[in-house]
Structure 1
Amino acid sequence: MPEAEILSPGELRALGAWMDRQGLPGGPVEDLAPIAGGTQNLMLSFRRGGRAYVLRSGPRHRRARSNDVLRREMRVLAALSGTPVPHPELIAACPEETVLPGAVFYLMEPVDGYNATVELPEPHATRPELRHEMGLAMGDALAALSAVDHERAGLSDFGRPHGFLERQVPRWLAELDSYAGQDGYPGPDLPGVEAVADWLAQRVPQRWTPGILHGDYHLANVLFDRRGATVAAIVDWEMSTIGDPLLDLGWLLATWPGTRPMLGWTGLATAGDLATEEEIVARYAARSGRNTSGIAWYAVLACFKLGIVLEGTHARACAGKAPRAIGDRLHTAAVALFEQALDRIARS
């Protein structure tokens, strides 16, 4: 991709001038390149003044909330600085839309890690004990996040924890109902939507401790250390808020490839010797001190919520607003998630 298609010469000059004002090393922007990944956001790596950076901004065709989402990411990454939570270190943030016209952005340290849904390098490929430990390490990283005092970290107004769990079912049923406005969408053909919603609504946990919620915690949203089995960084904080951290654990279980295939994932997702759900939950409980006896409810909620999110892309695809092949694939995934939810309910 030519550099002009990444950032225009004018944008590069504006970026350099802004970096100068932040007291960062000067000089020309060098080695500018896009970073591939599952995100629709703009991700670029570059060097300037002998230092490496990663720039993250909204997509070129920004959605209504793109800038607000990025501002929230900046805030949560700043709050995590100095904590044991593995995350990309924030270097500098630009919440204004004037430097890159119409777009906010931030700079972060590059992470020496890899996405285990697209590759499985050595030594992990040939050492089953490392592959087994990787799932447990995801539990460790999540436990570290759940231990952060969000109020001391300056995030007391980052979400609305009061009534968080009670809001989930009506909030996502309303989202599903909203898809009816998409032309050509035949309606949700998802197994047991009402049954799953009723089961969840009747069993909402009454006692829980609020904390930082990543909101989309799965294998594709972590980078693993290239030398060992530890999590180098949790990435893509777009859905973060203050809520019940056990929902992140439920999300990990709902998407964990150790017990079910995930569409499009390779790498670790298709390897053997993975940790079981029970092992991951036990590891998280031991490291976090949180009560996980009701984790089945959170895993079912994760299936319910993620299934509805994926069905939204299917609805947009039916209306010609997204590629039909992607919409069909995600509808298949949404059906599988609701089938999983029903299976978890039957086993609970």
Structure 2
Amino acid sequence: MGDGTIDQDRIGGAAKLSADKFTTTTRDPDQLGRRIGDWLGTKLGKGSNPTVFEVSKPEGNGMSSETLLFSARWRDGADVVERRLVARIQPELDKVPVFSSYDLRLQFDVMALVGGATDVPVPEVLWFEGDGSVIGAPFFVMARSAGDVPPDVMPYTFPDSCWLNGASTVDQARLQGSAVEALAALHELGPETHDLDFLAPERPGETSLERHLAAWQDYLDWATHDERSPLLDECFAWLRANLPAEGIDTGPPRLSWGDARIGNMMFVDFEVAAVLDWEMASIAPPEVDLGWMTYLHRFFDDLTVDLGAEGMRQFMRPADVVATYEAASGRTVGDLRWHMAYAAMRHGVIMRRVTERSIHFGEAVRPESIDDLIIHGATLRSMLDGTYWDDVGF
């Protein structure tokens, strides 16, 4: 294909993973809304008489935690309060979850920290509920932000997929710069100035990067315990053998967003209006987030180009991202190749789980080779042999 059309059946290769549908939950949103309305009465107090309405689920992004959008109205003395809210809910752990556990308290606390200590726009966190019996799983409620999100489904890199793909190069550059500057502002938070112990992985290692990698090795072991992935095992062996020296080849440890990408941001007039999805937050050198931000764009763009469409090759180029970040932070960034490979290889484990869940819901087929569950397996192989980097944009 060279006409810009996308054959959706090919998006997952042998697994035939859909490009426009990913089931994340079987819970009924209206029932969840009713139960949250009852629970709000206990939080707001006697006489508040809350009502929950306009309940829906967002479309286009998110493959792990469950998100519920709703509005609520209640009485506060003589006044009537109405707010647009969001509930983040622990996913159904019996439906092939992407991660082995979901620390919603950590997400709540890190958003509160970022909102209070930086100018990075995050939604206001309001209430946390750890009792799973209230609606069937732990959850928290936050204020709902306004803005547009570059979609994952269909990916924003696909032709005519969304407002970003069709925007001018000037507006695309404006969005890119705003996203990178928000990441630089977030990285002002470090363990020397703020208590970040609650984010530190309890794993062996002398540096934050070693501990970060150890935590992802544990995730790989959990995700592939039924059947090992030769490709992913080779990837993680390469990561360990080529680990950068923290503080020499990288910057110092900072608060790491974890899922640092534009698909987890809301934009108004191509400027960041909200930074979302903190379930992968940790402590790591800044390059870990920068590698994730640049590679996750490449992930979608590689899919687009491989399917015969033009893609967005001049967007989120590593050299441009690094230049913007260094100007905003005043810090020098180390070589991103290892960190982009780290992102791709971690994303390989995630995509194996996503594909397995799609198979569970009948949205994909199980391929003969276990490594074909990883839809960007060819990318991982080319990173291992060094041929991937020729047109990446360093």
Please state which band the TM-score falls in when normalised by the shorter chain: 0.7 to 0.9
Give the 3-state SS of the residue equivalent to 1:297 in structure 2: helix
* Aligned partner (choices 120, 128, 134) of residue 85 of structure 1: 120
Task: Decide whether the 8 Å contact of 1:188 with 1:311 is kept in 2.
Answer: no
Measured on the aligned residues, the alpha-carbon RMSD in Å equals: 4.1
Q: CA deviation at 1:200?
A: 1.7
* Residue correspondence of structure 1 range 152-301 to structure 2 within 5 A: 152-160=193-201, 163-169=207-213, 172-173=216-217, 175-176=219-220, 181-182=225-226, 185=227, 187-189=229-231, 193=235, 196-197=238-239, 199-201=241-243, 203-207=244-248, 208-225=251-268, 227=269, 229-257=270-298, 260-262=301-303, 270-271=311-312, 274-301=315-342
TM-score after normalising by structure 2:
0.70
Unaligned runs of 5+ in 2: 1-24, 74-81
Cα distance, 1:261 vs structure 2: 1.8
Query: Hey, what does 1:51 align to over in structure 2?
Result: 83
> C-alpha distance in 2, partners of 1:4/1:338?
41
CA distance in structure 1 between the aligned counterparts of 2:167 and 2:389, rounded to whole angstroms: 37
The answer to which structure, 1 or 2, has the higher relative contact order (CA under 8 A, 6+ apart) is 2
Relative to the length of structure 1, the TM-score reads 0.78
Give the corresponding residue for 2:180: 139
* Pair 25,289 (structure 1): closer, same or farther in 2 beyond 3 Å: farther
Q: Is the contact made by 1:58 and 1:105 (CA closer than 8 Å) also made in structure 2?
A: yes
Measured against aligned partners, the alpha-carbon deviations of 1:23-64 in whole angstroms (never above 9, x if no partner) come to: 996431121222223234332222222221111111244669
Match of 1:43, SS state, is strand
Query: How far apart are residue 210 of structure 1 and its match?
Result: 1.8
- What secondary structure does 1:111 align onto? coil
Q: Which stretch shows the higher mean deviation, 191-200 or 80-89?
A: 191-200
Question: 1-side partners of 2:319 and 2:56: how far apart?
Answer: 41
Helix, strand or coil for the counterpart of 1:325? Answer: coil
CA-CA distance at 1:3 after TM superposition: 10
C-alpha change, 1:180 and 1:240, in structure 2 (3 Å) is closer
Question: Structure 1 residues 134, 191: closer, same or farther in 2, change over 3 A?
Answer: farther
Give distance in 1, aligned partners of 2:47 and 2:258: 32
Q: String of CA shifts for 1:176-223, please: whole Å, max 9, x gaps.
A: 4556642xx47424696377335423x433444221111122232222
How far does residue 291 in structure 1 lie from its aligned partner after superposition? 2.2
User: Per residue, is there more helix in 1 or in 2?
Assistant: 1
Identity %: 21
The structure-2 alpha-carbon separation of the partners of 1:191 and 1:52, relative to structure 1 and needing over 3 Å to count, comes to: closer
Does the CA-based 8 Å contact 2:53-2:72 persist in structure 1?
yes
Q: Distance in 1 between matches of 2:304 and 2:237?
A: 25
- CA drift of 1:96 comes to 3.5
| Aligned partner (choices 5, 26, 35) of residue 58 of structure 2 | 35
